[in-house]
Structure 1
Amino acid sequence: MSNRVYLYDTTLRDGTQAEDISFQVQDKVRIAKHLDTLGIDYIEGGWPGSNPKDIGFFEAIQRETLSHSKIAAFGSTRRARMTPDQDNNIKMLIEARPDVVTIFGKTWDFHVREALRVSLEENLDMINDSLAYLKERLGEVIYDAEHFFDGYKANPEYALKTLQAAAQAGADCLVLCDTNGGTLPYEIPMIMEHVRREIDVPLGIHAHNDSECAVANSLMAVVGGAIHVQGTMNGFGERCGNANLCSIIPSLILKMNKECLHQGKLENLRRTSRAIYELANLTPQKHQAFVGNSAFAHKGGVHVSAIQRHPETYEHIRPERVGNKTRVLVSDLSGRSNILAKAQECGIKIDDKDPVTLEILEQIKELENKGYQFEGAEASFELLMLRAMGKLKQYFHITAFRVIDTLRESDQCPVSEATIKVKVGGRVEHMAADGNGPVNALDQAMRKALISFYPQLAEIKLLDYKVRVLPSSQGTDAMIRVLVETGDKDSRWGTVGVSGNVVEASYQALADAFTYKLYKDQQ
C-alpha cells in the first residue's frame, strides 16, 4: 500500500456553497496561492459552466505561476440524450484550460431514476463517454462518485457498475463521496475493502460533516486504501461543512506517518487557515483542532504545572508542528504555575516564592468574582502583574469624564458627545469629541486629550468591541463586561473592563489599551 496521500482542496468550489461565504475572483486567486505555498496537490477552482465568477477565476489563474498545485475544474457528466461534444458544460470544462478535470456522476439508483429520470443503463453510458471524451482531451481526469456510500448501501451491485464504467473510460482516480454526510466511520473499511476487490484504479474519499464524522471517515478511508483525500480548509462547505483539511493533514502526517506535504510545510498550516478565514471575512473558530487559538490553551493550574515539566502530559502534539503555540490562560482556576508561566511569556521575571505571586493570584480570583475575564484580555493581565510588582509607570490620570447622548430629531440617530479631563505630569488637558455612540465619543476624546503628550497613540485602532451583560437577577442593574481588541502596525492586544455602567466599563478597557501601547513602546 502506498504511503503517499494526495490532497485535493475544494474550498473554492464546495467551500463557497457554505452559508455566509462568498469569494470574489481575486480572493480565490489569493487563496489558491496560499494553498500552493502550503503544498496542496490539487486546487479545485470552481465549476466553469455554472457562473461567470468561476470562469473569471480560471482566466485569472492562467496569469499566475504556481510552484506545486494543479488546478482542477469541476463539472458533471453530459446531459441525457446528447453526446459530450454537444454538451455546453463539457465544452466549458475544456475551454477553462485546467490541469485536471473532475466530474461527478450518479451512483445511487434512486437518484438516477428520480433526479436524472433516465434508465440505469443510460446513466452508465453518461459516465463512461463523458470521462472518455475528457480523458482524450485533457490527460488527467478524476471521477467523483456522488452519493456513493448511500448508493452502495441501497444497491451495491449498481454502485460498483458506475465505478467500473468510470474505470473503463480511463479515469485516473475514483473518489467515493459521502455526499449527504450520513455514513459513520465503522462502515467505511468494509465498503472500501469490497470496492478494492472489484476496482483496480486508485481510490479517493470526499466526505461531508452532517454526522460530525467527515474527518474520521476520511482517515478511515485512507486506512482502507484511499490515496486521494478531498476536503476544504477550516471545513467550509454546504450545510454542516466538508471534511476539514486542517485536521486531516496533521493527522495523516503526525499520527499515520503518511506523506502528503513536503518537509517543513506543515508549520504553515495555522497561517494558511487564518488567511482563508480573513479572506472569507469570518472570525476564526478558537476551539478548532490543531490551528485554533484554544487548541493548546491551558487554564487549570494542575495542567499548567504539568505541561511546564512535560508538554505531552496535556498536549497530543507539539503545537509548533502546525504553526500554533502553547497558551496559558489566567482565571480563578489558576494556580501559581499559571502566573509564573504567564509572566515568563510576557518577559517578566518573577520568583515562585515571591509574595507578589500570591497577591496577583488573589487579585485575579477577586476580580473574576466581580465579572472580569482575562482569557481574552491578556494585556490587562500583564498590566495587573506590572502594577502589583510596582513596575508600571502611570502615563496619565483621567480626573473626570462626561458622556452625553442627545436625540435632536425622533427620526434620526442620537448624537454622542464626550468631554474628558486628563492629567499628565503637572499638565491638564480638557477635551471634547463627538462620536458614533457614547463609547466611540469617549474613545475619540481620550485620544485627542492624550495625543499631544503621546503622538504614538495616533497609530492604534480599535479592532473589536464586545459587550456582555453578566448573569444576574438585577435586571437592568446587572454588571457589564467589555472586551476591547486594539492594534497597531505590529501587534494586537485585548483589554477588559467591568462595571454596572457600560461607559465606565468601556473606559476601563480603553484606558488599559492606551496604557499597554505606551508601555509596549518603551520596551
Structure 2
Amino acid sequence: MDNRIYILDVTNRDGVQTSRLGLAKLEKTVINILLNQMGVFQSELGFPTTNHETNYINANLELAEMKVIYPMRLEGWIRAIESDVEKAVELTRVKHLNLSISTSNQMINGKFQGKYDKEDIIKVMVDAVKRAKELGIKTIGVNAEDASRTGMDYLIKFALAARKAGADRIRYCDTLGYENPFRIHFRCKDLTKAVDLPIELHTHNDLGMAVACAVTGAKGVIEEGQDAYINTTV
C-alpha cells in the first residue's frame, strides 16, 4: 500500500482562532519555520482576505521562495465564494487555498437564514473552485464545514461536485467535536470510496477524541486507496 498520511498544520489559522490567542505576525512566522523543520507537509498560515495579514502572508511566501520555509507548502483559508478567491489573489501571492462552506442542515439554516439551500451551497462552492483554477491556484482543498452532522448522501454529492470542478482534496470537518472514532472511520471510508479523492481530517477536541478520530478517519481513507491529510495544531 503506497498511500500516505500527511500533516497539515492549522495552528496559525484555526488553532489561534479557536483558542482566542493573539499571536504576533513574527510569532506566526517562527511557527511556520519550525513546522517546516519538523517535516510538516503544509501550514495553513492564515486568512489571505484580511488586510492586517497581507504583509505577514506575503513575507512568509517570500521566505518560501527563498527556501527558508521549504519544502513545506503555505496555504490560506477562505470562504468558498468567488469574491474571497479574487480578494485572496489580489492581496497576496498565495498559490494554495482551502475553500470552506457549511454543509449540514443545522449550519446552512443557522448561517444563511434561508438565503441558500443545499443546492445553492454546491453551486456557490463550485463557482469558487472554478474561479480559483482560473486565477492560477495550484492546489485547492474544499472544506465541508460540520461534515460530521451532514447527511452522507449530500456529503458525497457535495464532494463529487467539488472534484468535478477541480478540487484536489475534501476536508472532513468535525466542527463541533461531534464524532467518535468508530463512526468517522466508516464515514471517511465510504466518502473516499464514493468520491475517489484524498480526504483531510479536521477534528475538534470537545469530547477529548480529536486524535483518535483523526487517526481512525485517516485509516478509513487509506483503506480505500487514497492519501489522508490530518490537520493538527501545536
Q: What TM-score do the two structures reach when normalised by structure 2?
A: 0.88
Percent identity reads: 24
Matched, 1:141 2:174: no
Residue pair 1:132, 1:170 contacting (<8 A) in 2 also: yes
Residue pair 1:147, 1:180 contacting (<8 A) in 2 also: yes
- Amino acid in the other structure paired with 1:216: A
Among candidates 97, 101, 109, match of residue 105 of structure 1: 101
The residue aligned with 1:177 is 173
Residue pair 2:48, 2:94 contacting (<8 A) in 1 also: no
The residue aligned with 2:117 is 119
The residue aligned with 2:126 is 128
- Amino acid in the other structure paired with 2:86: K
The residue aligned with 1:91 is 86
The residue aligned with 1:75 is 78
Structure 1 position 51, deviation (Å): 5.0
Q: Which has the higher contact order (CA 8 A, sep 6+)?
A: 2
SS at match of 1:63: helix
Instruction: Note the 1:319-358 alignment, pairs <5 A.
Output: none
The residue aligned with 1:210 is 206
Structure 1 position 62, deviation (Å): 3.0
Instruction: Note the 1:269-280 alignment, pairs <5 A.
Output: none
Residue pair 2:185, 2:220 contacting (<8 A) in 1 also: yes
- Amino acid in the other structure paired with 1:203: I
Indicate the RMSD between aligned Cα atoms, in angstroms: 1.6
Residue pair 1:107, 1:159 contacting (<8 A) in 2 also: yes
SS at match of 1:225: helix
The residue aligned with 1:201 is 197
The residue aligned with 1:232 is 233
Unaligned 5+ residue runs, structure 2?
A: 223-227
Residue pair 1:77, 1:103 contacting (<8 A) in 2 also: yes
Residue pair 2:148, 2:173 contacting (<8 A) in 1 also: yes
Instruction: Note the 1:307-456 alignment, pairs <5 A.
Output: none
Residue pair 2:185, 2:218 contacting (<8 A) in 1 also: no
Unaligned 5+ residue runs, structure 1?
A: 79-83, 234-523
- Bigger Rg, which one: 1
- Amino acid in the other structure paired with 2:9: D
Q: What per-residue deviation string (whole Å, max 9, x for no partner) do you get for residues 351-403 of structure 1? A: xxxxxxxxxxxxxxxxxxxxxxxxxxxxxxxxxxxxxxxxxxxxxxxxxxxxx
SS at match of 1:17: helix
Residue pair 1:109, 1:158 contacting (<8 A) in 2 also: no
Instruction: Note the 1:442-521 alignment, pairs <5 A.
Output: none
CA 1:51–1:209: 2 relative to 1, 3 Å: farther
Residue pair 2:189, 2:217 contacting (<8 A) in 1 also: no
Number of residue pairs matched by the alignment: 221
Q: CA separation in 1, counterparts of 2:106 and 2:93?
A: 34
CA 1:19–1:67: 2 relative to 1, 3 Å: closer
The residue aligned with 2:62 is 63
The residue aligned with 1:28 is 28
Q: What per-residue deviation string (whole Å, max 9, x for no partner) do you get for residues 208-227 of structure 1? A: 00010000001101211251
Residue pair 1:148, 1:159 contacting (<8 A) in 2 also: yes
Q: CA separation in 2, counterparts of 1:175 and 1:140?
A: 13
The residue aligned with 2:225 is none
The residue aligned with 2:40 is 40
Q: CA separation in 2, counterparts of 1:216 and 1:157?
A: 25
Q: CA separation in 1, counterparts of 2:157 and 2:20?
A: 38
Residue pair 2:101, 2:144 contacting (<8 A) in 1 also: yes
| Higher share of residues assigned helix | 2
SS at match of 1:62: helix
Q: CA separation in 1, counterparts of 2:193 and 2:44?
A: 29
- Amino acid in the other structure paired with 1:91: E
Q: What TM-score do the two structures reach when normalised by structure 1?
A: 0.41
Structure 1 position 3, deviation (Å): 3.8
